[in-house]
Amino acid sequence: MILAEDEASLYLQATTMRVWHRCGHTPLIQVSPNRACTHFYGALDLQTGHETVMRSAMMNGATTVLFLLRLLAAYPTQPILLLWDRATWHRSKLVKTFLHDNPRLELLWLPAAAPDLNPQEHVWKATREAVSHNHAIPKLDQLADSFEAHLNNASFPCSLLDLHNYSYLCMLFK
């Protein structure tokens, strides 16, 4: 399995995008003054476009280990190659110990400050466009439920493997 992992934060504040509206009548979008947020861990299966997601109150080493456990449970027999950015909590002692104890998980570190190379970033963008841009949802938990439902129910095709002839290479080694 080849998975691309990343985290995202969701705030109640609506981000605005262009919208059609009657000329001369500016649409109103309510903005919450509070900075409460929830976080999401997500891993995109680059072959199927399926998303594994977990909501979290924090992003730290302990929560990262919980998400890695979820990935191991979702793919119980396959080795997993995880494309990962260099977030500080990914390099915590707790995470390093967990990875050492779980050799089925292998890492490919993405370059620093290069989110455009992580396919999971495209999942966050598509979900924000579908759910949290221009929204009128009054409560963070309701917005988070919609965000998570979209991640669980949508497919997010990724062309990264095709760009590198992955399917062809797999056939050669079967």
109-131 pLDDT, tens digit each: 999 888 888 999 999 999 999 99
Is 38 or 14 the better-scoring residue by pLDDT? 38
> Over 50: is that where the pLDDT of 21 sits?
yes
- Total count of residues recorded for the chain: 174
Identify residue 45 by its one-letter amino acid code.
Answer: D
State the Cα torsion 84-88-90-93 to the nearest 10°. Answer: 150
Amino acid at residue number 82: L
Residue 24: per-residue pLDDT? 82
117 vs 103, higher pLDDT: 103
27 vs 61, more confident? 61
The CATH fold assigned to 2-172 is: Nucleotidyltransferase; domain 5 (3.30.420)
pLDDT single digits (tens) 31-60: 666 778 999 999 999 999 999 999 999 999
| Domain spans, the chain | 2-172
Scored b (16 or more CB within 10 A) or e, 27-64 reads eeeeeeeeeeebbbbbbbbbeeeebbbbebeebbbebb
E runs forming strands in the chain: 2-11, 37-45, 51-56, 80-84, 105-109
Residue 35 backbone phi and psi in degrees, to 5:
-105, 20
pLDDT digits (tens, 9 = 90+) for 69-78: 999 999 999 9
First-to-final CA distance of the chain: 15
Lowest mean pLDDT among 8-17, 81-90, 97-106, 153-162: 8-17
Residues sharing a CB contact under 8 Å with residue 62, sequence separation 6 or more, in sequence order: 94
What does the pLDDT read at residue 18? 63
